[in-house]
Amino acid sequence: MIRNAKIEENEILTGISFKSKGYWGYPKEYFNIWTNELTISAEYIRNNDVFVYANDGVIIGYYSIIELKDDVEISNIKIRKGFWLEHMFIEPCFIGKGIGTILFQHMKERCKKRCIHELGILADPNSKGFYTKMGCEYKNEYLSTIKNRTTPYLLLKL
């Protein structure tokens, strides 16, 4: 079942963020750099579209859509204003079992309801194939917050 995230679930979502990112075997020092990016606060849930996939009351994954009202610069990277898929994370034991596809389809429907016609995605390099399979168009690479690493930028047109 997919539903809105509850404010008090922020720590659960943060845990899923770190575990899901850890699935790819990144070194521990990367997580020190990603701490702010992967931490979900109660305020974040309150201010953004955050949805969870739960099975028998247990949260298995989530996604979030944010709206940037202005262009922003993060780590010398200019990110344009508009709507972005900021997070889509799944408990590692459920990766590859179709939960991501279910969440993605829900996210597309949510965008249509909100009249969002384009959704930007700065994806983990390991998830680029998933997003292109889901119909996103690969645009280019952005510099990552990790030195000597890039992040694929994809665009979903609805």
Q: Locate 124 and state its tokens.
A: 């983990």
Where residue 12 sits, what CATH number does that domain have?
A: 3.40.630.30
Do residues 13 and 20 make contact, with C-beta atoms less than 8 angstroms apart? no
The residue ranking higher by pLDDT, 144 or 42, is 42
Q: What is the pLDDT of residue 139?
A: 94
**pLDDT tens track for 100-149:** 999 999 999 999 999 999 999 999 999 999 999 999 999 999 888 888 88
CA–CA dist 107, 114 (Å, integer)? 11
Total count of domains within the chain: 1
Give the residue numbers spanning the domain of 144.
2-157
pTM for the model: 0.93
CA distance 39 to 11: 8
Mean pLDDT (whole number) for 44-54: 98
